[in-house]
Amino acid sequence: MTIETTTTGVLILILIMTLVTLVTRFGGVFIMSFVRINPRIESFINTMASSVLIAIIVPMAFEGDAGALAALSVTAVTMLVLQKPLPAIGAGVFAAAALRYLF
């Protein structure tokens, strides 16, 4: 099925994308409201939460250039040392910019 990108066609496509995205935004909470929460489920949810972040970042590091790798490593080290997000993010972004400027 295809939709022509006429004025109405584009609007329909935008609405379809909106609905699909809304299903993903609402779906997780909606499904969980039918699940009985026990300690095991709660433990699953909690470890899954920070694992989402890892699963976004690790392929990003492998896919990225040296600048991306530098940004993530510098952020990691700064964060572990200082425990403050803003300096860690700043240092990471600066590292990427500096490395890309130099090489």
Partner 1 sequence: MLPISLFVVAFGAAFGLAAVQKGLAPLDTILMSALVFAGAAQFAAIDMWGAEVSVIPVMVVVFAINSRHLLMGASLYPMLKDVAPAKRYGVLLVLTDANWAVAAQDYQRGNRNLEVILGGGLVLWLAWIVGTWLGVYFGGLLQNPKNLGLDMVLGCFLLAMALGGKKSPRILVAWASAALASLAAWKWLPANTHVVAGALAGGVVGFFWLEKKPGKETAGKTPT
**Does position 102 bind partner 1 by CB under 8 A?**
no
Least Cβ distance, residue 61 to partner 1 (angstroms): 8
Going through 5-94 in order, the beta strands assigned E by DSSP cover none
Q: At what angle do helices 66-82 and 85-102 cross, to 10 degrees?
A: 150
The residues in 9-28 that bind partner 1, with binding defined as CB under 8 A, are 9-11, 13-18, 20-28
Q: What is the DSSP letter of 36?
A: P
Token reading at 27 = 């779906």
Residue 2 corresponds to which tokens in the numbers above? 């295809």
Q: Answer yes or no whether residue 34 interacts with partner 1 by CB under 8 A.
A: no
Is 101 an interacting residue with respect to partner 1 (CB under 8 A)? yes
CB of 34 to partner 1, least distance (A): 11
Determine, following the binding rule CB under 8 A, whether residue 43 of this chain makes contact with partner 1.
yes
Q: Which of 8, 95, 102, 103 binds partner 1 (CB under 8 A)?
A: 95
For the record, the structure tokens of 28 come out as: 């997780």
